[in-house]
Amino acid sequence: MERNVYLTLQRPEDARQLWFSRLSEFVQGPGSEVVPLEKAAHRVLSQPAVALRSSPAFHGAAMDGIAVRAESTFSASPRQPLTLEIDKDAFWINTGQPLPKGCDAIIMVEDVQVDESGKKVTTEKAAFPWQHVRKLGEDIVATEILLAPGVEIGAYELGALAAAGVLKPQVFRRAKVAVIPTGNEIVALSKAKDEDLESGRVLPEFNSLVLSTLIRDAGGEVDERPITPDDPDALSQAICAAASDGADVVVLIAGSSAGSRDFTAEAIRRLGEVLVHGVAVMPGKPAMLGLVKVDGRTLPVMGAPGYPVSAIIAVEEFLLPLLAFWQKRRPKTRESVDVVACTPLPSRPGMEERIRVRLGIVGETCFAVPLPRGAGTVTSLSRADAIIPVARDCEGVDAGVPVRAELLRSRSQIAGSLLIIGSHDNTLELIDSLLRQVEPRFSLTSAHVGSLGGLLALKRGQCHLAGSHLLDEESGIYNRSAIREHLKGVPVMLVHLAQREQGFVVMPGNPKGIKDVSDLVRDDVSFINRQRGSGTRVLLEYELKRKGIRPEKIRGYRDEEYTHMNVAAAVLSGRADTGLGVRAAAFALHLDFVPLGTEEYDLVIPKAFAEDERIQTLLTVIRSQVFREKVTAMGGYDVSRSGEILWTYDGQE
């Protein structure tokens, strides 16, 4: 079948400008409407909000006391107290009440003395004009412009409008966005069955859920349309139906790439014009922007890529700015901060890139650890603390060089995070969960680069602690030798986290009959390895050396994964027959496990952070009975000594 070909890739800002300028020729936007004040929260003013009444609408008391004419009290002093007659020279008044006629000041109740009759009061303090008085119009004067167009109405704005008598503000109508998921292989979440998903026959459709939430948060109204198959006629009909139902803009999800079954471009051309097909941003490259004419009305259409991260970035780059443009306000921006990448972050020249990262503040520096970059890894956004934009003329971000990152979470959340770099273990996510429950200010951010990578990050001062299980072949003792070798000058304490079983993850029933490392060289066995520098890789190489097996004889030895769960997933998917991992990973995915032995997994904590409140809370968590019970239930762990300080190193040995 014939394949689509991308037009010249355009810079995102150029693509937006082209789309907006053409829209302005034909589309006026959703227009405006009047809404009751009680329903105006989060709406955007389309016209200036003009005060209909002053606030306060009268001269009123700001204190409890007596209302007086200030001039009549000028003679009062401690040496010559002034006596006033109630209801003639002075009038009792409470806060908020209007001033009696002829009065222009309040003397506080604590500054007057009442005689026995209650009809006269004495004061030693003279009042000055308008003392303790809220004057008419002090806050708002009728006819003044209270709020400008483009202002989003929040709680504070609601109060101001209510005080000014603006009970029916004029706001921009919410743009109605029709969201149309497309594809023959997708099914609604409610109809997705595990057996169909696992077989690969269908995919769950959740892009519309994510994009609809982004649209609502940006002030749009969502019209979620049914899934439309990959067919130009069906797609064209879906666009027309959405337009007939009052859509102001249509978003087609998937079908905008260059595949032989990507028909979004053809459907748009049948009804109008494709202005942009392909933008120089990753993820998000296949994004498409166009105009269609239905029933004499022109409206914008966007083709969002099918991969979740690509779709999200495309909507953030183009659709959300359009909604802001229609509401005459600037798109919401994220707070930015300087960060330092722990490792180089290469990028493809000629393409802008949005790199998702996790952050940890160590000392005065905010360090960034990259997350997977795949366009389909939606968890790289849900787990990300920030995004580093990389310009199209850049080859990436160098390690150790400050760059700006756009925050996805608050500074306080990031400041409360402990950054652990090193070997992966399934208990780390559990620790993060329990840590947040014990102290909501704190969290654990983990980056998996292997045990050796964690020690080197500690040496560079890039993390608060490291996870390690490096075996010394000569002594059979874990971590101490590696710490002496790589952490000279860095005093640390070695805290035991768990004893865990390592072994071969295999399919249920162990169909290949794998028993030990000798089976890895068989022609019918494929293997999935862990990355260089990981403790699991060190253990494997130790066992291979002990058996006299050359690694290059193992099929798949160079195929690497970064976590135990990824190794288990590779086996479950059939990508490999086996891989070395912890029992808990096999247990989690209902796979079988062939034990190879037990190992010690420890936390390496610099003494400089030993008294840090976050570290102390983490130690409380891993010493708790709740932690031990939950880890034991995961299978393959001995946590009887969790939290025990095994060894301290002064950095000099």
**For 136-156, what is each residue's pLDDT tens digit?**
999 899 999 999 999 999 999
pLDDT tens digits, one per residue of 502-513:
999 999 999 999
The C-alpha torsion from 453 through 454 and 457 to 463, rounded to 10°, is: 150
- What CATH class has 32-55+139-172? alpha beta
Beta bridge partners of 443: 417
Statement: residue 205 has pLDDT above 90: no
pLDDT, tens digit, 9 for 90 and up, residues 345-371: 888 888 888 999 999 999 999 999 888
CA distance 360 to 465: 11
To the nearest whole percent, how much of the chain has pLDDT over 70? Answer: 96
Side-chain-side CA neighbours of residue 589 (13 Å): 24
Q: Which amino acid is at 301?
A: V
* 247-261, 381-395, 539-553: least confident range: 247-261
**Which residue spans of the chain are classified as CATH 2.170.190.11?**
60-134
DSSP for 399-448, written as a single string: TT-EEEEEESS-HHHHHTEEEEEES--THHHHHHHHHHHH-TT-EEEEEE
Q: Which parts of 148-224 are beta strand (E)?
A: 170-172, 176-181, 186-188, 203-205, 221-224
Q: Which CATH code fits 60-134?
A: 2.170.190.11
Name the percent of the chain lying above pLDDT 90.
72
> What is the layout of strands, in order, in the sheet containing 112-114?
82-85, 120-123, 112-114
Q: Residue 289: name the closest of 249, 324, 326 by CA.
A: 249
Is the pLDDT at 44 greater than 80? The verdict is yes
CB 382 within 8 A of CB 308: no
- CA dihedral 267→273→279→284, nearest 10 degrees, is -30
What does the pLDDT average to over 310-335? 91
Residues 6 or more apart from 299 whose CB is under 8 A from it?
A: 27, 243, 247, 248, 249, 250, 291, 292
Tokens matching residue 466 = 């490291």
In the chain, CATH 3.40.190.10 sits at 469-649
d(CA 448, CA 424): 5
The alpha-helical segments, DSSP class H, found in 223-319 are 232-244, 264-271, 308-314
- Where helices occur in 299-346 by DSSP H, the ranges are 308-314, 320-326
**CB-CB contact of 624 with 468 (8 Å):** no
Token readout for 517 is 């490392």
pLDDT at 258: 54
Nearest of 377, 498, 478, 362 to residue 420 by alpha carbon: 362
Establish how many alpha carbons lie within 13 A of residue 169's alpha carbon, considering only the half-sphere containing its beta carbon.
38
As a whole number, mean pLDDT of residues 519-538 equals 89
Q: Where in the chain is the domain with CATH 2.40.340.10?
A: 336-448
Q: What is the CA radius of gyration of the chain?
A: 34
| Confidence tier at 520 by pLDDT (50, 70, 90) | very high
Task: Specify the pLDDT at position 1.
Answer: 33
Q: 315: which DSSP letter?
A: I
Q: What are phi and psi of 151, to 5 degrees?
A: -80, 130
The pLDDT of residue 2 is: 41
Which residue bears the tokens 């070997």? Answer: 423
The predicted-structure confidence for 398-449, as pLDDT tens digits, reads as follows 888 899 999 999 999 999 999 999 988 989 999 999 999 999 999 999 888 8
pLDDT at 379: 80
pLDDT band of residue 653 (cuts 50, 70, 90) is low
Report pLDDT for 201.
72
Please report the pLDDT score of residue 191 as a whole number.
81
Predicted local distance difference test score (pLDDT) of residue 196? 64
pLDDT at 614 over 90: yes
- Section 75-92 average pLDDT: 94
Q: d(Cα 525, Cα 517) in Å, to the nearest integer?
A: 11
Three-state SS at 245: coil
Give the mean model confidence (pLDDT) for residues 218-229.
94
Residue 3: the pLDDT is 42
Amino acid at 567: V
527 and 555 in contact (C-beta within 8 Å)? Answer: yes
Q: By the 8 A CB rule, do 163 and 141 touch?
A: no
The rounded distance, in Å, linking the Cα atoms of 115 and 119 is: 7
260 pLDDT more than 60: no
Asked if the bond preceding 283 is cis, omega within 30° of 0, the reply is yes
Q: What is the pLDDT of residue 373?
A: 79
Q: Which residues pair with 33 in a beta bridge?
A: 171
pLDDT for residue 165? 94
Look at residue 462 in the predicted model and tell me its pLDDT: 93
- DSSP conformation letters of 3-17: PP-----B-HHHHHH
Token pair recorded at residue 121: 């009061």
Confidence of residue 257 (pLDDT cuts 50, 70, 90): low
Q: At what angle do helices 625-634 and 427-438 cross, to 10 degrees?
A: 150
CATH annotation of 469-649: 3.40.190.10
Give the strand pairing for 288-294 and 272-277.
antiparallel
**Quick check: 67 and 103 in contact, CB under 8 A?**
yes
Q: For 498, how many CA atoms within 13 A lie in the half-sphere containing its CB?
A: 27
Q: Minimal CA–CA distance to 271: which of 248, 301, 303?
A: 301
Q: What is the mean pLDDT of the chain?
A: 91
39 in helix, strand or coil? Answer: helix
Whether the CB-CB separation of 540 and 546 falls below 8 Å is answered with no
What SS3 class is residue 511? Answer: coil
- Name 170's Cβ contacts closer than 8 Å, sequence gap at least 6: 32, 33, 34, 45, 46, 47
CA distances from 203 to 65, 101, 257, 285, 434 (A): 73, 77, 18, 22, 33
Please report the pLDDT score of residue 188 as a whole number.
84
Using DSSP, state whether 381 is helix, strand or coil: helix
The CATH topology of domain 12-29+174-326 is Molybdenum Cofactor Biosythetic Enzyme; Chain A (3.40.980)
For the segment(s) 336-448, the CATH number from 3.40.640.10, 2.40.340.10, 3.40.50.2000, 3.40.50.2300 is 2.40.340.10
Structure tokens at 41: 């929260």
Distance CA 231, CA 255 (A): 10
d(CA 311, CA 313): 6
User: Is residue 8 scored above 80 in pLDDT?
Assistant: no
For 21, half-sphere exposure in the C-beta direction (CA atoms, 13 angstrom radius) is 8
Which residues of the chain does CATH 3.40.980.10 include? 12-29+174-326
Residues 500 and 584 sit within 8 Å (Cβ to Cβ): yes
Q: Do the bridges between strand 112-114 and strand 32-34 make them parallel or antiparallel, or are there none, so unpaired?
A: unpaired
At residue 197 the predicted structure's pLDDT band, cuts being 50, 70 and 90, is: low
Confidence of residue 623 (pLDDT cuts 50, 70, 90): very high
Assign 173 a pLDDT band (cuts: 50, 70, 90).
very high
Q: Where in the chain is the domain with CATH 3.90.105.10?
A: 32-55+139-172
Q: Give dist(CA 561, CA 117) in Å, integer.
A: 92
